[in-house]
Structure 1
Amino acid sequence: MPPSSDRFANTRSSRQPSGNKPGGQEGHQGTTLRQVPNPDHRVLHRVTECKGCGHSLEHVAPLQVDIRQVFDLPVVRMEVTQHEREVRSCPECHLVQQAEFPFYVTNHVQYGPAITSLVLYWNHAQLIPCERVTEMVKALTDHSMSAGTVVNMTRRWQPVVEAAIKEIETALLTSSTLHVDETSLRVNGKNQWVHVASTAKTTRYGLHRSRGKKATDDIGILPRYKGTMVHDAYSVYPMYTEASHALCHAHHLRELRAYTDLYGHSWSKEMTEALLGMKQAVENADGALPEEEVRYWETVYDKLLANGRRELEERGVRNAQNFIQHLEKRKQEALLFLRKKFHLTTTRPSAICGW
């Protein structure tokens, strides 16, 4: 759900304080700037005259040479490379033939791959608008470029992007675990939805006017996926029956913390500790537990939900009843991670999916 419609207005992170002081921790490998043995340039600052008596020091050997290094960018300027293609005629058979231009040289005048890559990186990866990109090019290189050129660069390199997207989709479809979610986004003043499918290394975003099944069908990942789909129990995802399903406990931990902090429930605190205990047990077992241990945690899970129902009855409140019912109904999906080894990820549009 978008943040504006979250069930609890006073949302807080599920992360617990580490107790560490702010800043870099002991043993952390920093990125301190260090001198290099082979600098690109050397500038010798000489002592040529004695400041005391004025005697020439031109031929006096230095006692020592102090070294300081400055890391900086070279002066950026647009370079023009002229490609010349020979055309020759064979003196024997008179066949006229010509050399080949590089594959990226297609016009009489054009921008090369280096500046194109940089412009597309600014525009698409860093989300800098076209006109501001042209201002950056002008400021850095003193070269004027139109916003239309940025658009044309995108169109010209679109086949390369499409090939990369196909590789991403293949990686997602062949993964044993797939994390899926959706979040709202304003586009030209209108509400649309970003749908995400991700693994630990690969993420595919899809923008659509719909939040529902039409969107996920049109994007085309979920209808073809046959592994384990991890999600927040949104009603669209279970419709894909070719996949098995597991619930995202990051969502559950956030809701449990709200019941603990805002309403003072004790069962929710114990359930939080139990879920984190299960997670630790699975990690210690390298991804899957023995059946006997699985049954133990299932018993703990059932007992805590029963305790939750009892606590609500004693308090005379119903604010967590639907949530407890949800955990009971979806028990198999909630505890699937105890039996099945997952490849977990933290790449999501709005929160952490999975653990």
Structure 2
Amino acid sequence: MTKCKGCGHSLEHVAPLQVDIRQVFDLPMVRMEVTQHEREVKGCPECHLVQQAEFPFYVTNHVQYEPVITSLILYWNHAQLIPCERVTEMVKALVDHSMSAGTVVNMTRRWLPVLEAAIEEIEAALLVSKTLHVDETSLRVNGKKQWVHVASTAKATRYGLHRSRGKQATDDIGILPRYKGTMVHDAYSVYPMYTEASHALCHAHHLRELRAYTELYGHSWSKEMTKALLEMKQAVENAGGALPEEEVRYWETVYDELLANGRRELDERCRQSKHDGVRNAQNFIQRLEKRKQESLLFLRKKEVPFDNNQAERDLRMVKVKQKISGTFRQEDDAEAFCTIRSVISTLQKHGKPVWESLQKLLSGESLETILHSS
């Protein structure tokens, strides 16, 4: 505004009465940029040795994509779980550059060795943790069921793919045989085979089973056990994470009495020919009696949680991936997904920006440096 709209007088040197501000957010125009790297090859005139300069370590082909665009593709495909075909559509729409779905897959495979180095750092962090959450879920690969096993903490995640659900799988993946802290898990029989570690059972699983006996079959013992477990959980929270030994012994007595009451109730139901849910409930009570120490370890150890929700949350993204993109066609691609998701999940748990962090990893920075940077 340089002139008065009323009389036409110049306003060029008039001080403003006030300054009004409005902000508009937008993106700059994005385009694909090509950088040409050249290196000189020279021969020494004295000794005739032919020598050449070095390209940047990530420049390994005559034509390739650099870490910025590659990390963005990996972020879309593996962090946001966008299928390969839709990733190529996004690249075309944003930068008017054609890219095949095969190129997206090849990007993952090409950079996998860099990300596998980060996996070693993740495994080292898991092995020194006081508690380790473990679980497994199925995944379809080339039309066949395989298994994704997870070992995780609040700060690190390691996924491993295997054709087996059992001990052969956890042995091959290699974390559980070396772990010596406390494993938190469901009642799956494989985990207690690792005797170098102590074990804690997930009460979220127990509460689901107890609710079924209460709501489906009308058992009263299961309602009382549910109430007692939740009261134990509240007592531990009120105490700041662990109970005095005298209080632990009190809850152990309550635990034993409720299981004994449960056995008597189930026996009475059998005498009255009310067999609904009885056999499963008897097996459940037997498991709680046999594995009492694992069930109640959270009362004594501050670092042992009430449930295994950490592992269940970490596995949820595997099911989301399968729901969005369907199955994997090749086992190598499923294994690559597990590797990259391990890194992405660990970055997210540390509050690090995933795309920016992937750029740094692909440019040569270590995961440890990224996780501990401010």
| Aligned-residue offset at 1:104 | 2.0
Equivalent in 3, 10, 31 of residue 77 of structure 1: 31
| Aligned-residue offset at 1:92 | 9.0
Instruction: Give the alignment's TM-score, normalised by structure 2.
Output: 0.72
Equivalent in 305, 315, 333 of residue 294 of structure 2: 333
CA distance in 2, matches of 1:75, 1:343: 51
| Cα contact 2:298–2:304 (8 A) shared by 1 | no
| Aligned-residue offset at 1:270 | 2.3
CA distance in 2, matches of 1:351, 1:269: 30
Q: Secondary structure at the match of 2:311?
A: coil
Asked if residue 273 in structure 1 is aligned to residue 273 in structure 2, the reply is no
Structure-2 residue corresponding to 1:127: 81
Asked if residue 180 in structure 1 is aligned to residue 134 in structure 2, the reply is yes
Asked if residue 348 in structure 1 is aligned to residue 302 in structure 2, the reply is no
| Aligned-residue offset at 1:100 | 3.7
CA distance in 2, matches of 1:192, 1:164: 24
Which runs of 5 or more residues in structure 2 are unaligned? 317-374
CA distance in 2, matches of 1:351, 1:148: 28
Identity of aligned residues (%): 86
Equivalent in 161, 175, 179 of residue 207 of structure 1: 161
| Cα contact 1:231–1:247 (8 A) shared by 2 | yes
Instruction: Give the alignment's TM-score, normalised by structure 1.
Output: 0.76
Which runs of 5 or more residues in structure 1 are unaligned? 1-46
Structure-2 residue corresponding to 1:241: 195
| Aligned-residue offset at 1:89 | 7.7
| Aligned-residue offset at 1:108 | 3.5
| 1:274-313 pair list within 5 angstroms | 274-313=228-267
| Cα contact 1:182–1:194 (8 A) shared by 2 | yes
Structure-2 residue corresponding to 1:251: 205
Asked if residue 165 in structure 1 is aligned to residue 119 in structure 2, the reply is yes
| Cα contact 1:179–1:198 (8 A) shared by 2 | yes
Asked if residue 102 in structure 1 is aligned to residue 56 in structure 2, the reply is yes
| Cα contact 2:263–2:285 (8 A) shared by 1 | yes
Q: Secondary structure at the match of 2:195?
A: coil
Q: Give RMSD over aligned pairs.
A: 2.9
| Cα contact 2:133–2:152 (8 A) shared by 1 | yes
| Aligned-residue offset at 1:295 | 0.8
| Cα contact 2:73–2:87 (8 A) shared by 1 | yes
Structure-2 residue corresponding to 1:195: 149
Structure that is richer in helix per residue: 2
Compare CA radii of gyration and give the structure with the larger one. Answer: 1
Distance 1:211 1:107, change over 3 A: closer
Equivalent in 64, 74, 93 of residue 18 of structure 2: 64
CA distance in 1, matches of 2:169, 2:33: 45
CA distance in 2, matches of 1:337, 1:277: 13
| Aligned-residue offset at 1:162 | 0.9
Which amino acid is 1:202 matched to? A
| Aligned-residue offset at 1:99 | 4.5
CA distance in 2, matches of 1:190, 1:299: 47
CA distance in 2, matches of 1:246, 1:110: 49
Larger RCO (alpha carbons 8 Å, 6+ apart): 2
| CA deviation string 1:140-192 (max 9, x = no partner) | 11111222322322222111111111112222222221111112222333222
Distance 1:218 1:95, change over 3 A: closer
CA distance in 2, matches of 1:127, 1:352: 14
| Aligned-residue offset at 1:333 | 1.3
Which amino acid is 2:143 matched to? G
Comparing 209-218 with 97-106, greater Cα deviation is found at 97-106
Q: Secondary structure at the match of 2:134?
A: strand
Which amino acid is 2:309 matched to? T
Which amino acid is 2:311 matched to? R
Which amino acid is 1:325 matched to? Q
Aligned length: 307
Which amino acid is 1:285 matched to? A
